[in-house]
Amino acid sequence: MKEVSLSNVLNSFSSIAGIADSFLKAQNFNSDHTNHDWLIPPIFEKFHLLYDLIIHSPFAKKLVLNLKETKLYKTFADESGNFSLRKFGELMENHSFRKRWIHSVSYKIAQVIVRVFDPNLRTSILTLVQSYTNNLLKMEGFPKSAFLNINEPVESVSAFLNYVSKRFFGYNVQSKKQVKIIWDSLRHLHDNVLFGQYFNTQMDAEHVSNTLTNILNLEIIEPVAKTYRAYRFARKHKECDRYVMCLVNSYDPHSTTNLPVIKNLLTKVATLISSWFLSQHTNTSYYSLIMSIIGNSNCKKAFYKACDGFHAEEFRVKQEYTHFEL
């Protein structure tokens, strides 16, 4: 019986590194990495050299030149035409700019989603994927009983997993119960959450794009961005560190959240990490900052007059950005 071992995996890495090494020698590429060769293991240094070769290739240089001509790059460029990290940070903090920027990208993704979720097209795609997958499995010697069947997803996936486990790992498993639980959860997510809460059965690209934009902008990016603004403000106004970290995690009754668990989790993780670094600048103990974050205490207890500036900062980033050129 065929077995997968750690030595096989390591041998694969060695083979890949050998191919990269041969390619680098064939290209006569010689870049000085001696200043950090003690830090990076040799196997990863090969990939680092390969990255340098690709990034300095004529194709990559032409790609960068074309990128600099796009409106997106020019939006974040300074007066000299170079990418400005400061300008990028300032613009991405603005809610309206970020929403329009995300929408311009998400609309293209939404068009794909609408087509994929079209019932007729979806059936055709699944049938094609099933046929292609089963042909590959047949070539690998899989029995017909382990083939995938979109009409019986639980049974076919269970049979596939059982066979893979026995053939490659030597274990006899009965995965049908676990597969059914996962499948029922996915069906619930599809029927009651995706199409019951966020999308509707008659989807259009604009509606999907708006939903994706709001989720990404206000529930994925904003918790991290707001935490960074609080961290930056607290470094300048050290007495406000506990107040702003508490405020970032406080409950907003006027907030309409689609993914409250994810948003709250991102906020908690971001503030706990940033508080570790903040405590080294404000001399407030990390424990005190943690209690401000998870203690659900009254934030006003840690308020100082200088902390009003944080509210002004939050008001600024929520103003409409009128110089949008994407």
Indicate whether 167 and 278 sit together in one domain.
no
Residue 51's nearest CA partner among 67, 29, 71 is 29
pLDDT of residue 7: 47
Q: How far, rounded to the nearest angstrom, does the alpha carbon of residue 1 sit from its chain's CA centroid?
A: 39
Q: How far is Cα 17 from Cα 7, in angstroms, rounded to an integer?
A: 15
Indicate whether 232 and 307 sit together in one domain.
yes
Q: Round the average pLDDT of the chain to a whole number and report it.
A: 76
Q: How far is Cα 171 from Cα 118, in angstroms, rounded to an integer?
A: 40
Judge whether 191 and 203 are in contact, CB under 8 Å: no
Indicate whether 169 and 211 sit together in one domain.
no
Total structural domains in the chain?
2
Tell which wins on pLDDT, 323 or 205.
205
Whether 57 maps to a domain, the answer reads: no
pLDDT tens profile 174-204: 888 888 888 888 777 666 555 555 555 556 7
Indicate whether 127 and 276 sit together in one domain.
no
Domain stop point among 198, 213, 247 = 198
Give the pTM. 0.54
Indicate whether 170 and 239 sit together in one domain.
no
For the four alpha carbons of 137, 143, 146 and 152, in that order, the dihedral sign comes to positive
Q: How far is Cα 237 from Cα 245, in angstroms, rounded to an integer?
A: 13
Indicate whether 213 and 305 sit together in one domain.
yes
Q: How far is Cα 175 from Cα 195, in angstroms, rounded to an integer?
A: 28
Indicate whether 223 and 306 sit together in one domain.
yes
Beta bridge partners of 83: 77
Judge whether 303 and 250 are in contact, CB under 8 Å: no
Indicate whether 109 and 122 sit together in one domain.
no
pLDDT of residue 243: 92
φ, ψ of residue 138 in degrees (nearest 5): -65, -40
Cβ within 8 Å of residue 65, ≥6 positions away: none
Indicate whether 106 and 209 sit together in one domain.
yes
Whether 157 maps to a domain, the answer reads: yes
Judge whether 143 and 129 are in contact, CB under 8 Å: no
Domain stop point among 165, 198, 231 = 198
Domain that holds residue 100: 93-117+205-311
Whether 213 maps to a domain, the answer reads: yes
pLDDT tens profile 82-118: 777 777 777 777 777 788 878 877 888 888 777 777 7
Indicate whether 100 and 241 sit together in one domain.
yes
Binning pLDDT at 50, 70 and 90, where does residue 233 land? very high
Average pLDDT (222-242) is: 90
pLDDT tens profile 291-307: 888 876 678 888 888 88
Indicate whether 231 and 127 sit together in one domain.
no
**DSSP H helices in the chain:** 6-26, 42-55, 58-68, 71-75, 85-93, 95-116, 119-139, 153-164, 176-188, 205-214, 222-236, 241-248, 260-282, 286-294, 308-317
Whether 25 maps to a domain, the answer reads: no
